[in-house]
């Protein structure tokens, strides 16, 4: 299957989920994520802010803030097709930005050097067991992940149905170190 075939299938499957199912599975994913030593032992963590149909991250963000972590979220830079990591101190600092995704309001943008990020929690439409991912096709995360420290752990969040056997890869695709679904923590081979 092509990336486009996989995108189309996953978008349809996500659309068929009801909000209760998304909430319940997202809660389980958050619990598993917080069970990871790397979360407990890291201080500077970047987390995506979910779009409708994605694993929900509001509770993850709030729990990280409550734990005293430095929480960073992406700001979309469309002219560069890239992401600017920006520290937030509360969910109330977010407002709809590009593509309708919540991001810091202008007065709350606090840029963070991508090189200091210890963990990047990454969305995706599909992941495979080699850690490869498919996003929405614009390449924001692919470009961004090439700029982070090679020591930063990349953690994909997904619903179990988003795990596929194999994803076509390109030279600029950056694999995940871990993938967390409601069924468990997967370490790519």
pLDDT for position 98: 83
**pLDDT (0 to 100) of residue 137:** 78
pLDDT at position 53 is 93
Q: How far apart are CA 165 and CA 58, in angstroms?
A: 29
pLDDT score, position 51: 92
Instruction: Answer for the pair 33, 40: CB distance below 8 angstroms, yes or no.
Output: no
* Structure confidence at residue 154 (pLDDT): 97
Contacts of 45 (CB under 8 A, 6+ apart): 39, 64, 69, 70, 71, 72, 117, 118, 119, 120, 121
User: What's residue 155's pLDDT?
Assistant: 98
What's the confidence (pLDDT) of residue 139?
Answer: 85
CA distances to 69, 117, 157, 184 from 66, in Å: 7, 19, 21, 24
Whole-angstrom Cα distance, residue 77 to residue 26? 27
pTM comes to: 0.94
> Which residues in the chain land under pLDDT 70?
none
pLDDT recorded at residue 55: 97
């Amino acid at each position: 299957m092509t990336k486009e075939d996989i995108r189309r299938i996953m978008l349809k499957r996500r659309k068929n989920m009801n909000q209760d199912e998304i909430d319940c599975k997202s809660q389980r994913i958050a619990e598993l994520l917080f069970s990871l030593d790397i979360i407990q032992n890291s201080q500077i963590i970047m987390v995506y802010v979910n779009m409708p149909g994605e694993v929900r991250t509001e509770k993850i963000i709030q729990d990280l803030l409550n734990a005293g972590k430095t929480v960073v979220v992406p700001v979309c830079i469309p002219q560069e097709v890239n992401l600017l990591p920006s520290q937030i101190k509360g969910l109330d600092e977010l407002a709809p930005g590009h593509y309708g995704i919540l991001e810091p309001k202008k007065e709350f943008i606090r840029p963070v050097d991508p090189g200091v990020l210890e963990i990047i929690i990454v969305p995706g439409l599909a992941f495979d067991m080699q850690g490869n991912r498919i996003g929405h096709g614009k390449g924001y995360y692919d470009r961004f992940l090439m700029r982070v420290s090679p020591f930063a752990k990349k953690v994909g969040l997904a619903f179990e149905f988003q795990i596929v056997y194999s994803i076509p890869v390109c030279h600029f695709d950056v694999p995940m170190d871990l993938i967390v679904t409601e069924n468990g923590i997967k370490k790519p081979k």
